[in-house]
Amino acid sequence: MKTFPMFLQMAGRRVTVVGGGEQAAQKVRLLLKTEAQIIVHADDLDPELEGLRDEGKITQASAVVTQADFTDRALVFIATGCPGADAASHAVAKAAGAVVNVVDQPDLCDAITPSIVDRDPVVVAIGTEGTAPVLARQIKTKIEQQLEPRLGDLAALAGRLRDLAANRLGPRDRRDLWRWVFNGPVRNAHARGAERDAAKQIKTAIETGEFSREQGGSVALVGAGPGAKDLITLRGVQRLQEADIIFYDRLVDPDILELARRDAERVYVGKAPGNHSWPQDKISNILVSAAKQGKRVVRLKCGDPGIFARGLEEAEALEAAGIAFEIVPGVTAATAACAAQNRFLTERQEIDAVIMTTGRTATNDGPPEWLSELRPGTRVCLYMGVHSAVELQEHLLKSQYVDQIQIEVVAEAQTDRQKTVDCGVRDLMTALAENEITGTAILSVVLRKSAAAAANPPLRLIDTAS
């Protein structure tokens, strides 16, 4: 980030605006939402600013400014409409050590005004570092539609009741309380205008300790998706934001962890091929232990927790210990690999069977079982298939369809390191070597119906009677 987002304390502080026209009025409108003292330096004010001055909401001062006019200011906005006058005022303000925003001159700005969604005291600020203000406004519009108009009043009510909750409830119960308030019937009641009923429900819940909450610890087995952080599901993000502790895998994008609560503990339990520094039974045991301590636990796995992710072993350990758990599915690598090539797992009239398997089995004796299922219209997605590519090629070379099979390889799908390769069976090892693909990849064996039919055309009866 070139700019750092931060909310400034404005109550009782002074803000200087230089200029008396429409540009200055736009900044004053924003500042009037705060509790700052607004001083406008201009000899002539437009009618809107004149009205605000007459109402006592702003103070008018001389257009001639000195360093003293910028000393001890929370912010300075310069908006005379004249580039030369703006630059001159900017120089004086900077000499006074002020934080300055010069309208339409980003090179002279210490601070940039964001697009704002106002549900006071809930405020959402959207910035693009001055590069795309139209995009910022589009995002603002979407957020405006998502946040109900009365949300700020509910947040203010929660703020007034925080001390009461703190005196009666422990930290975990307080989090569960506010989660209940903002995720359920209380928020719905408040949104439809039943403010008194909502307030009564919150107060009763604080007094009695009776509200919808999880008793003891719990575990969510969450699929992080195949790579890019925006491929995790909304439910997955919600569980991350609720977690007290997160156990994550080697292939999980570190950016995804930024979606979690800042104070959530993060524990790396990654396992590299051939180096299981965290054996599975140790991971299962630590999930049980953390949940028994009353923590809300997330086990964050790359892809989908139910597809070659050892999720079953962890679920069985949790179930045996009587720990409540939830499975949050994720986008699996096979789907992501096809999408990376603008393709699909199935294709109408071409591929109607999909097999997901691994490059290596527990025994690795003889040809893989799926080879007998390889018939026209089949896609076989091999997870961790690169390390067994030599054996795979040997088996496929014996297939009657060897020249009709297409191999699709996608390494590190949906990341900025992504590589894609298409080749035939005979060229597989050469293609992997030339593209330096040695690690994480999905290798798909594809036999389309049209390719097989072209190689083995159906018999045609010939009429010889004529």
Catalytic residues: 249, 271
Could you write out the DSSP letters of every residue in 321-382?
TT-EEEEE----HHHHHHHHTT--S-BTTTB-EEEEEESS-SS--SS-GGGGG--TTEEEEE
Rounded CA separation 191/16 (Å): 37
* Collapsed DSSP state (helix, strand, coil) of residue 269: coil
Are 248 and 305 spatial neighbours (Cβ–Cβ below 8 Å)?
Answer: no
CA 83 to chain CA centroid, nearest Å: 40
* Collapsed DSSP state (helix, strand, coil) of residue 320: helix
Residue 422 DSSP code: E
Residue 151 CB: number of other CB atoms within 10 A? 19
Amino acid identity of 234? L
List beta partners, residue 103.
Answer: none
Count CA atoms closer than 13 A to 200's CA, side-chain side: 5
